[in-house]
A and B are shown apart, each in its own frame.
Chain A
Amino acid sequence: RKEVEQDPGPFNVPEGATVAFNCTYSNSASQSFFWYRQDCRKEPKLLMSVYSSGNEDGRFTAQLNRASQYISLLIRDSKLSDSATYLCAVNMKTSYDKVIFGPGTSLSVIP
């Protein structure tokens, strides 16, 4: 089983739609969780850190479920500019600090 897995894509949604991405992780000792977006041929940009109580930033809502070992990202009122690949990242506390990324889910918002 991969350490971090995500919904296979791509997601093609119309403008204004609500879309949700899920991500699961294998290491129950993981402590920190993040959502990044990556545009084609660019570096990842932090979208949100994910906190235990869940957090919201405008149209974006992130949730963490430690018992089931998954995190989610909800995007409301999708914009064309939201088209990108969304990567979840998990900080795994092993014998050393490391951050593992999921394979990413591609989102295309169409007019």
Chain B
Amino acid sequence: DTAVSQTPKYLVTQMGNDKSIKCEQNLGHDTMYWYKQDSKKFLKIMFSYNNKELIINETVPNRFSPKSPDKAHLNLHINSLELGDSAVYFCASSQEEGDEQFFGPGTRLTVL
């Protein structure tokens, strides 16, 4: 009965690798988001999708590519990982863009 789920919960990898984080919501929401929380706990939006269409694309390196195969899923693929990519990545969803957002448990990415 989990509303917004992410896998994996922890991800440890070497610099230069490519990795993906998966997100799924079972709330029937139309909009999904990716946020990054840095080492100082500051949360910032990266991307949002509405009905599989990209709406928000912040100033994020193009090594980061979101993919939405359907409304219930928004995956984040990261190429050529760098040390500075180490952070906690949160997925969220809402019914429409202005509505209350519900967050997943987060994925802690550590790049060595």
Tell whether A pairs with B. no
User: B residues bordering A, Cβ < 8 Å?
Assistant: none
